[in-house]
Structure 1
Amino acid sequence: MGSIDWYDKALAYKENYVEVLKGLLAIPSVYDESSKTDKMPFGEQIDKALRYMLNTGERDSFVTKYVDGYAGHIEYGQGSGLVGVLGHLDVVPADGEWTFGAFTPTLTEGRLFGRGTLDDKGPVVAAYFAMKLLKDSGYEPKKRIRLIMGTDEERDWQCMEHYFKYEEMPDTGFTPDADFPLIYAEKGIIDGYISLPPATAQSDKLRLVRFHGGKALNMVPGQAEATLSGEDLTAVEQAFAAYLTAAGIDGRAEVKGNNILLSVSGKAAHGSTPEKGRNSVIVLAKFLQSLPLHGDVTDKLNWLVEKFEDYNGKGIGLGLTDDVSGPLTLNLGECKMTETDAWSIGVNIRYPVTAAYDTVKENLLNELAEAGAGFKQSSHLASLYVEKDDPLVETLVDVYRRQTGDATDILAIGGGTYARAMKKGVAFGPLFPGAPDSAHQQDEHILLDDMIRAIAIYAESLYLLTKDDHI
């Protein structure tokens, strides 16, 4: 294609990018059990988001395919080789107060706000416009370029499991769902639910009726609530107010008859970086520990704090680390308890790339057995590790460094991206070093100029990956 100013070409799509992305962001594509059907396996709004992107591709004369409501793809080019770009259109729930509304996309001062702007709708649309840039320029790749869009990344990856049962696996590719310059290693991920038996008894003076927090295992809970019933609730209310002040957190107490509802606001964050958040379940549990509850209830609260306050898993016997990807992380993403039901504790464990899955699982089960707790695993993603000198890695990193002048070293992360769904893939952007990381948080947003730069980087990368057959 000769000498190309990739950024200048990408800049020409800025208004169109914002227009298409805003339409996608306005769709609240959160998993919805109540509206799921055989044809819409993750709910009506997720299906709507998928169809929106496929319709956009059809409008621009790409080849598109809708795969049973689980996923879809947008493709162009000829040849037997296939380069994949994998992204997702589902988003995590939007907790808390948002400045502009989670699904009311708003562009102000160069920042576009809305749930999914960073994770992962904004990057998916950037990859789409990278393909459109190449296609509009008359480029004819020697391999096919396929943008594969999943719809269950934030839960169990059922979308990719179904998609690759019926569709071709890319020879190589990347996912725009992490950081620049490039992610070459991703920790293994275990999701599951720990169960503790119900309390054997409750105090006559003060009972813990309900304790709940969190909505997704891969998200640090930003909100938690507890309902107590009994005598002298004024004293509980006063103690709670003092606790909130001392801990420097927001919360409220509401007395209704013989019940008091306590709620706290922590700080939501992605489950791969629990150190960036403040777990509201732990915050509230630490207050409940101080109350005159029945001994069995207090023992369970003590166990919860002791085992899960440390986000590197040391409390539960999982203090593992390696030089490639760093320490294991443990996120308590959900907690559900009522007086009569077993306690359910949802966890997201991300273990180092050189650690053995069987060892991690065995250590966890042994620790839980000592407390009489059970564990039901809901999913496992094996770790990803692509060598630094692999041609795919070298090609993408060269593009990034040439366009940005940034020599930052490539990364290993705890996040789980679609890169590991491919035969050979890596995570590549869109977050630039030093840019705000608001994924899974209130007021999630992107820097618009960064996304235009990402379009340029993705366009050149796809060009180099498909201009001949050697990569």
Structure 2
Amino acid sequence: MKTLQDIDAIIAKQWPLFTEDLAKLIAIPSTRGPSQSHAPFGEQPRRALEQIVAIAKSYGFQTGIVNDAMAYVQWGEDSSNYLGVVGHLDVVSAGSGWTSDPFTLTQRNGRLYGRGVLDNKGPSLACLYALKILHETHLRPQKTVRLILGSDEESGSQDIKMYLQQQPAPVFGFTPDCKYPAVYGERGIVNYAITTTIDDGSLKQLSSLEGEQALDHVPDDIKVLVNGQPLHISGRRTPTNAPELGENALTLLAEKICQQHLVQGELASYFSWLANSFHEQHYGEGLGINFADAASGKLIVAPYLLQKTKTNLRLEIAIRYPVSYQEEEVTAGLKKALLPHSQLQIIRSLKSVRHDPHDPNVIALSQAYQEITGLDATPVTTTGATYARFMPNIIAFGPSFPGQKGIAHKQDEWMSIQDLQLNIKIYLQAILKLCKREE
């Protein structure tokens, strides 16, 4: 085969095998667990690495696991000068409320469902199949291509550091873990803990909060006793980089407590502050930090955890700020919005990253996307955090298309069959353009 005009038929022919391989990956509940020998991020993420190695080896590729942290699939002999495609096989917890088993690949109405089908097992496998199709049709890239698959992206990306201890970084590449078109910049991210002392005794009106609270998503189910009265607050889960698409159970709780005057004293003042500062105030306007710029849009804020101790309340929030602003500006603004007797602590800090949108490699990715889809390929920025912050010379590229947002990290995670097949085609074309095809 000398052209790409037959690619749709090839993908269709390989699709049953693709879904069989994807089902094997989805079946592994690869959330982070206790560190073990040869499994620094837990047994299940390690199983996922071994599974992708077994799949890729069966298709004739060189494979390996680096420092027990990341698997690689390589085509070519130059291990120091290679194009890198960097995905991940770990996932966030499934949570509750799924229509079908989160760890069984399920098809309904043209969509595939399962934890990791979008973030990021499905797109990672799409990249492997792009290589597989190139290999089988003798469209050999001139440059070595290495697909690198991690096991700790969702919990801090320490796997990248471990990989780089033993292997050189790619000369360029992409991570299929964000959106299209090519993403040349990622916003800064800073997570804060706000600890507020309640010293008038009113804190006893509130019990500890029950429900899953984690930094990857807006909480959607909270149970608590308020003056002995049980409250069960249901919201709608969404990733913390898209809080406007969900309903935050913490701020809904604050609203209800205030509207019904359920508590008194300093505790009432606290929940009034929480409601006024955060409820449906997704862009920092309730805190006076509603920064924005033309390159990346509005600042985004999402509270995701509230804990009670004997004398204080600890609120954790995630903020994603525009690329032209600095973390210090966000911190200074936030300090002005705090209640008295509050302490502010930075618990996570990721500086923004920017690449030149006119770089020839970025242009090559843009051309591949436009040629396959016919859509506008002007490079963009993102609110998300990807491996591009940790692996040198990498930018985000796909898999979600414009208008698709807030699907990962929630119940019934899905990706359409049509989009997943289109991703294979885009990634195949991108690899050829970045490596320059040999005839």
Normalising to structure 2: TM-score of the pair?
0.91
- Residues 1:468 and 1:114: Cα distance change in structure 2 (over 3 Å): closer
Specify every segment of 5 or more residues in structure 2 that has no aligned partner in the other structure, as ranges. Answer: none
Instruction: Answer whether contact 2:291 2:298 (CA < 8 A) is retained.
Output: yes
1:219 partner SS? coil
Instruction: Answer whether contact 1:127 1:147 (CA < 8 A) is retained.
Output: yes
Aligned equivalent of 2:302: 331
2:389 partner SS? helix
1:20 partner SS? helix
> Residue by residue, what CA displacement relative to the aligned partner does 1:128-153 show, whole Å, maximum 9, x if unpaired?
11111122223443322111222222
Aligned equivalent of 1:210: 208
Amino acid at match of 1:319: N
Give the root-mean-square deviation of aligned CA atoms: 2.3
1:313 partner SS? coil
> Residue by residue, what CA displacement relative to the aligned partner does 1:223-272 show, whole Å, maximum 9, x if unpaired?
22212344xxxxxxxxxxxxxxxxxxxxxxxxxxxxx4322221111111
Query: What pairs up with 1:118-133 in 2 under 5 angstroms?
Result: 118-133=118-133
Of the structure 1 ranges 404-413 and 90-99, higher mean CA displacement relative to structure 2 is found in: 404-413
Query: What pairs up with 1:91-110 in 2 under 5 angstroms?
Result: 91-110=91-110
Pairwise CA distance, 1:367: 4.1
Aligned equivalent of 1:400: 369
Aligned equivalent of 1:27: 28
2:214 partner SS? coil
Instruction: Answer whether contact 1:150 1:159 (CA < 8 A) is retained.
Output: yes
2: CA distance, partners of 1:428 / 1:451: 14
Pairwise CA distance, 1:18: 0.7
Instruction: Answer whether contact 1:221 1:333 (CA < 8 A) is retained.
Output: yes
Pairwise CA distance, 1:395: 0.8
Pairwise CA distance, 1:413: 1.8
- Residues 1:223 and 1:147: Cα distance change in structure 2 (over 3 Å): same
- Residues 1:360 and 1:44: Cα distance change in structure 2 (over 3 Å): same
Of the structure 1 ranges 262-271 and 52-61, higher mean CA displacement relative to structure 2 is found in: 52-61
Aligned equivalent of 2:407: 438
2: CA distance, partners of 1:292 / 1:283: 14
Query: What pairs up with 1:156-195 in 2 under 5 angstroms?
Result: 156-195=156-195
Aligned equivalent of 1:447: 416
Aligned equivalent of 1:358: 328
Amino acid at match of 1:130: A
1:315 partner SS? coil
Aligned equivalent of 1:252: none
The answer to whether residue 62 in structure 2 is matched with residue 66 in structure 1 is no
1:96 partner SS? coil
2: CA distance, partners of 1:445 / 1:60: 27
Pairwise CA distance, 1:124: 0.8
Amino acid at match of 1:182: A
2: CA distance, partners of 1:465 / 1:357: 34
2:317 partner SS? strand
1: CA distance, partners of 2:347 / 2:56: 34
1:372 alignment partner, one of 341, 349, 360: 341
Instruction: Answer whether contact 1:217 1:331 (CA < 8 A) is retained.
Output: no
Instruction: Answer whether contact 1:93 1:215 (CA < 8 A) is retained.
Output: no
Instruction: Answer whether contact 2:70 2:148 (CA < 8 A) is retained.
Output: yes
- Residues 1:67 and 1:375: Cα distance change in structure 2 (over 3 Å): farther
Instruction: Answer whether contact 2:92 2:409 (CA < 8 A) is retained.
Output: yes
The answer to whether residue 320 in structure 2 is matched with residue 319 in structure 1 is no
1:227 alignment partner, one of 225, 228, 243: 225
Query: Could you tell me the percent identity over the aligned residues?
Result: 32
2:263 alignment partner, one of 293, 314, 328: 293
Amino acid at match of 2:14: Y
> Residue by residue, what CA displacement relative to the aligned partner does 1:84-139 show, whole Å, maximum 9, x if unpaired?
11112222222331111222221123211111111111111111111111222234
Aligned equivalent of 2:239: 270
1: CA distance, partners of 2:351 / 2:94: 28
Instruction: Answer whether contact 1:316 1:367 (CA < 8 A) is retained.
Output: yes
1: CA distance, partners of 2:308 / 2:226: 12
Instruction: Answer whether contact 1:210 1:228 (CA < 8 A) is retained.
Output: no
> Residue by residue, what CA displacement relative to the aligned partner does 1:10-38 show, whole Å, maximum 9, x if unpaired?
33321111111111111222223xx3335
Instruction: Answer whether contact 1:106 1:114 (CA < 8 A) is retained.
Output: yes
Instruction: Answer whether contact 1:156 1:379 (CA < 8 A) is retained.
Output: no
Instruction: Answer whether contact 2:242 2:405 (CA < 8 A) is retained.
Output: no
Instruction: Answer whether contact 1:218 1:331 (CA < 8 A) is retained.
Output: no
The answer to whether residue 44 in structure 2 is matched with residue 45 in structure 1 is yes
- Residues 1:197 and 1:46: Cα distance change in structure 2 (over 3 Å): farther
Aligned equivalent of 1:89: 89
Of the structure 1 ranges 432-441 and 308-317, higher mean CA displacement relative to structure 2 is found in: 432-441
> Residue by residue, what CA displacement relative to the aligned partner does 1:290-326 show, whole Å, maximum 9, x if unpaired?
3342412212212222332211122233211100000
1:316 partner SS? coil
How many residues were matched structurally? Answer: 434
- Residues 1:363 and 1:433: Cα distance change in structure 2 (over 3 Å): closer
Aligned equivalent of 1:464: 433
Pairwise CA distance, 1:366: 5.0
Normalising to structure 1: TM-score of the pair?
0.86
1: CA distance, partners of 2:277 / 2:165: 39
- Residues 1:276 and 1:169: Cα distance change in structure 2 (over 3 Å): same
2:207 partner SS? strand
Amino acid at match of 1:219: H
2: CA distance, partners of 1:158 / 1:364: 29
Specify every segment of 5 or more residues in structure 1 that has no aligned partner in the other structure, as ranges. Answer: 231-259
Instruction: Answer whether contact 2:239 2:406 (CA < 8 A) is retained.
Output: no
- Residues 1:65 and 1:329: Cα distance change in structure 2 (over 3 Å): same
- Residues 1:347 and 1:161: Cα distance change in structure 2 (over 3 Å): farther
Aligned equivalent of 1:416: 385
Pairwise CA distance, 1:408: 5.3
- Residues 1:62 and 1:91: Cα distance change in structure 2 (over 3 Å): same
Aligned equivalent of 1:344: 314
2: CA distance, partners of 1:161 / 1:375: 29
Aligned equivalent of 2:272: 302
Instruction: Answer whether contact 2:198 2:266 (CA < 8 A) is retained.
Output: no
Aligned equivalent of 2:15: 14
- Residues 1:277 and 1:468: Cα distance change in structure 2 (over 3 Å): same
